[in-house]
């Protein structure tokens, strides 16, 4: 599997690409493809977060759990969708909190957050692929080892990065982050099921 990733990340993560768990990921994805399964995002976009946000530019990390599993949605950036795709409910709530917190209206119908990524916001999902229509279907095949390593590398090698941990799953990653040199902000997940339990009013955008 050719890893389409920014050279800065290729250097930082070079040891990870040779570890057994990463070979397990490659083998699993090949088996899925051989079985005729549709995988999101497309292969060229699996590492899009790293391509759009070079290691040296990372100033904020927003951690998601799983890529969107509907057609045309996922493009390798957590919470983001491709241009022209209907905004998912969690992203609608993120935009509502931005408006409430800092008074900025996001462009109507524009759920592509590539411009955030290009400004230093690493939009990282814990699993980088998913089987079409099956949430969390690739979560247990090695991706967590890889993305945990990404978080650990950022924590160890950078300073003053803001980590936005929304929801229980993201907050379980807090142990990978050195809070003495980084800023960790926690809130409920922006999903409609939990946004009113502490995401709305968290003011994470003005604090970042």
What are the residue numbers of the active site? 66
Other C-beta atoms lying within 10 Å of the C-beta of residue 161: 20
With beta carbons less than 8 A apart as the criterion, state whether 138 and 116 touch: no
φ, ψ dihedrals at 122, nearest 5°: -80, 110
With beta carbons less than 8 A apart as the criterion, state whether 122 and 58 touch: yes
Q: What tokens were used for 176?
A: 């990978």
Nearest to 89 by CA among 195, 191, 200: 191
The contacts found for 185-192 with CB under 8 angstroms, 24 or more apart, are 189/90, 190/79, 190/90, 190/91, 190/93, 190/94, 190/97, 190/166, 191/89, 191/90, 191/93, 191/167, 192/89, 192/90, 192/93
């Amino acid at each position: 599997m050719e890893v389409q990733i920014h050279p800065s990340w290729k250097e930082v993560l070079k040891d990870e690409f040779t570890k057994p768990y990463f070979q397990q990921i490659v083998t699993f994805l090949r088996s899925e493809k051989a079985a005729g399964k549709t995988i999101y995002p497309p292969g060229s976009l699996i590492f899009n977060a790293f391509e759009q946000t070079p290691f040296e530019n990372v100033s904020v990390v927003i951690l998601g759990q799983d890529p969107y599993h509907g057609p045309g949605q996922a493009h390798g950036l957590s919470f983001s969708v491709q241009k022209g795709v209907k905004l998912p409910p969690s992203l609608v709530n993120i935009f509502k909190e931005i408006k409430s917190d800092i008074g900025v209206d996001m462009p109507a119908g524009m759920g592509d957050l590539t411009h955030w990524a290009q400004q230093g916001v690493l939009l990282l999902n814990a699993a980088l692929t998913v089987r079409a229509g099956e949430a969390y279907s690739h979560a247990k095949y090695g991706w967590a080892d890889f993305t945990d390593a990404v978080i650990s590398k950022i924590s160890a090698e950078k300073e003053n990065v803001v980590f936005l941990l929304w929801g229980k799953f993201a907050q379980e990653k807090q142990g990978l982050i050195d809070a003495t040199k980084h800023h960790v902000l926690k809130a409920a997940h922006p999903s409609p099921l939990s946004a009113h339990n502490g995401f709305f009013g968290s003011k994470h955008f003005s604090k970042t």
